[in-house]
Structures are given as structure tokens and as C-alpha cells.
Chains A and B, each alone.
Chain A
Amino acid sequence: MMTCKALLEQLDDLIADTLAPEARAHADEHLRACPPCLVLMQTYEITIRLTRQLSTHDAEPRASATP
């Protein structure tokens, strides 16, 4: 079975769903059997989504910017 290290190296491709079908099947098999890797993948994805929200916040008008 795929190692945890190999799985974690592929997190970006896993989340973007750009793995080849066979590699995806190996990754899914690992995730079903390895709760820590599943949580790591979920929290990695949350990290990316939270970071992407920073640009939205930067674009918001600031109430105190102008008198």
C-alpha cells in the first residue's frame, strides 16, 4: 500500500483532482485505511481555502480609510 509520506507528497494533486486514475485509486485506498492522512488532507484543504479568503478581505473597503 502507498506510504503516508507518498500520500502527503501528493496532497495538491489529490485536492485538485489531477492524479491519474491508478494513482487516485491508490491514494483513496490509503485514505480509507489511514485516519491521520485523511484528517491531514482535510486540514490541508481548509488551510488553502482560508488563505484564499485573505485576498477577499484585502479588497473590502475599510470604514476608517477615508474621513
Chain B
Amino acid sequence: MVAPIGTPPEGSIDEVLRESGPRIFRLARRLVGNDADAEDVRQEVLLQLVKKLDTFRGEAAFATWLYRVTVNAALAHLRKRAVRDEHRVSDPLEKLLDNHGRAHPVRRWSVTAEQQAISRETRQIIEHAIDEIPQGYREALVLSDIEGMPNAEIADLLGFSVSAVKNRLHRARLMLRNSLASHFEEQP
């Protein structure tokens, strides 16, 4: 349980804002992971605070409200960021095709599908490449190919349709393939 971050709404509104601002920022920073987004969340929560300040009765109600509003604002910000990032994700299929929709020439890999066990170095290369896959796609790949979860279960867990999960999984695998190609392609 995280301790409430609020203060009683005593004194002028300027004093309340001055005191609450850093606390909101600290909590938001932990949740969103960077200063710029945490500042956006702080501004948003302070705006709500100004609108509702005169409706509070007592310290506990204010502290609880401020904590909840900050958490909700941070989570909403994370969701918006995920959508924004997703729009920036380029289709990995496009990298493989020329302007006429034909596949570019590609080289075979020095590793095979029949290889029994992967080396520590290969594992590190794959894990690093997975880290680079955008969040919404990485989740599908990890749950399916590492955790062995069926697509229907992944769909339930992430709140997508099964076909959306299949699409994300396919894109994630292509992203990973494209990323691994530079490590595993045979030399000319």
C-alpha cells in the first residue's frame, strides 16, 4: 500500500498547489518513467485540483482523492502513449518488400531450426532484440512464444480479439526476424 500523497486543503489555493505539485510529480514519475510525461500528468492533476478543491472535507478525503486522481491520470497517459507509439511502429513487412510488393533478396542464416540448444551469446542477442520490440507487440510474442500461452488466453488477458493477437504476434515475429538477421545471416 502506497502512502497517501495529499495534504489537507488548508490555506490559499496557491499554497495547496505549491505543496501538492512535487508530490504528484514524484508519484507520476514512478508510474510513467520519464520527467516530460510526469510533468504532463502533474499539470493535468493540478487542473482537476483547482476545479474541485472547495469540495473536500478533511485531510483523508483529499489525500485519497489526490492519490487516486494522480494514478488514474498517469495510467491514462501511459495508454495514450502506447497508442501514440503504436502509430509510429512501421510495418515490418514493408521492410521486406520493394515498391512492387516483391520480396527483397535475403541471405540464409548460419543457425538452423534444428539446432538443439542455443548458446548464452545467442540467447543474449535474442533477448536484447525482444527488448527492442514495441510494447503491444512484445507482449504477444513473450506470452505466446516464451510462455507458451494459447492465442485465446492472450486475447483475454490483453483485451484484444484473437485475430488482433494473431496479427500482433505475426508482426512481432517479423520484427524479431528482421532484427536477428543482422546477427545470423551468412556472410557473402
Which residue numbers of A lie inside 8 Å of B, CB to CB? 3-5, 8-9, 11-12, 34-37, 39-40, 42-55, 57-58
Contact = CB atoms under 8 A, between A and B. Distances in A.
- The 6 A-B pairs of least Cβ separation, nearest first, read A36-B103, A4-B103, A51-B145, A47-B177, A46-B113, A5-B101
Label chain A's interface by main secondary structure.
helix
B166 interface: yes
Given A5-B93, A43-B109, A47-B173, A52 B126 contact: no
A48 B115 CA distance: 12
Interface of B: 93, 96-97, 101-109, 111-113, 115, 117-118, 122-123, 126-127, 130, 141, 145-148, 166, 169-170, 173-174, 176-177, 180-181, 184
A51 B123 contact: no
Contacts of A46: 109, 111-113, 184
A51 B176 contact: yes
A54 B122 CA distance: 10
